[in-house]
Copies of this chain bind each other. A is one copy, B any other.
Amino acid sequence: MGANLVIAGAGTADGTLVDIVITGSTIDAIVPAGDAPASPERIEAAGHLVAPSFVEGHIHLDKTLLGLPFIPHIPGDTVAERIAAEKQLRRTVGLSVEERGGRLIEQIAAFGTGSIRSHVDIDTEVGLGGLHALLALRERYADLVDIQIVAFPQSGIMADPGTADLLDAALSEGANLIGGLDPAGIDRDVTGHLDTVFALAAKHGAGVDIHLHDPGPLGAFELRQIAERTIANGLEGKVAVSHAFALGAIDDFEFGRTTDLLARARVAIMTNGPGPVSMPPVKRLAVAGVTVFAGSDNIRDAWAPYGNGDLLQRAMIIGYRQGFLADEDLAHAFAMVTTIPAGVLGLKTYGLAAGNRADLILLPSPSIPEAVASVPIDRTVLKNGRVVATGGSLTPR
């Protein structure tokens, strides 16, 4: 079958100009600029940078308040207080999860995100309602994004009896991974929480992605507990810990013994480049053999009014927070929203190579470091070989 789309004269990471030949939803060939055959559709890239689509490593599609008037933040200093405030708010908002989550998907797809991992709250109040909404969104927006779902016990497991059975049901009904939350800080039972999480992972053959805000040496202890269970269950490469603020606030001894285990267990760390709290040190972790990927986390929800889901801006924020200045470091920040999360999510046909899916972005920057530093908005986004967004807006579906 002949090519149906050619992206002509696109810039690549190494500075060469290429033509990208697309057949159906697949990259058929990448050839030197000018060498592509004629094709019914043609995009003149004019030297704009081409890259594989952004991969969102951590988002909460069910939490966003997009589509509603701006709701002032309800105060609450501890994680527990915020959980209570969110539940209160959730009972009163006038738009469904499907409406709010759908709006967020459309927004992030327009920025160039093609694949996402979304957590969804599972608790004894909402039950599997959020999961069912996300399963419907996954179906409805299959032409824009691929969605991986984490069954997330936002209210704890032991702290909210009945949640373990709901998590079990969620994994049976289509959730892809089992989540967790602050085994010490919320459930006050590190062993009980993690035993439950890993038993569910083993039962369903599911990966694991645990929210961990617990600070300093306490959080580091929990990271080691997670790594040990990962190895014991043969889950190396299938477990992630999100946030892990502790890694940015422990001494060298704690850091060394914790990262040794994380690296051995191939546990990946997700960061959103947090503002006021300690952040996992990305380059130091890379040297220690620990993978760090990025996610947007909260986007205008009960947890924070910030965020727009633009992963290029997220790469900038992470680079800024980490003091990334050199080109190679800026490129690493870009990898944290592209190739690195693609690996963590296990995307099989991701990347700028023949045979892979034509999930691509064109950025009006001559290089990846410049794109990260300047965060241009005018982008062309392709999903499955079809142009889905230009200039920051979705094209008609």
Contacts and interface: CB of A to CB of B under 8 A. Distances in A.
7 contacts: A70-B366, A70-B373, A72-B326, A276-B320, A304-B325, A305-B325, A305-B330
A323 B366 contact: no
A73 B306 CA distance: 29
A316 B310 CA distance: 15
A305 B366 CA distance: 14
Mostly helix, strand, loop or mixed at chain A's interface?
Answer: loop
Contacts of A319: 275, 306
Contacts of A366: 69-70
A306 B373 contact: yes
Residue among A72, A75, A367 having the largest count of chain B Cβ atoms under 10 Å: A72
Contact of A70 (B69, B72, B305, B370): B370
Interface in A284-332: 300, 304-306, 308, 316-317, 319-323, 325-327, 330
Interface of A: 69-70, 72-73, 75, 275-277, 300, 304-306, 308, 316-317, 319-323, 325-327, 330, 366-367, 369-370, 373-375, 377
A305 B73 contact: no
Given A70-B370, A304-B325, A305-B369, 13 more contacts: A72-B326, A72-B369, A75-B325, A276-B321, A305-B330, A305-B370, A306-B319, A306-B320, A306-B373, A308-B374, A308-B375, A317-B317, A377-B377
A275 B72 contact: no
A327 B75 CA distance: 10
A69 B366 CA distance: 9
A276 B317 CA distance: 11
Contacts of A73: 325-327
B374 A326 contact: no
Nearest to A276: B323
Contacts of A276: 320-323
Contacts of A370: 70, 305
A49 B33 CA distance: 47
B369 A323 contact: no
Contacts of A322: 275-276
Nearest to A374: B308
A375 B102 CA distance: 21
Contact of A72 (B75, B305, B327, B374): B327
A322 to B, nearest CB: 6
Contacts of A377: 377
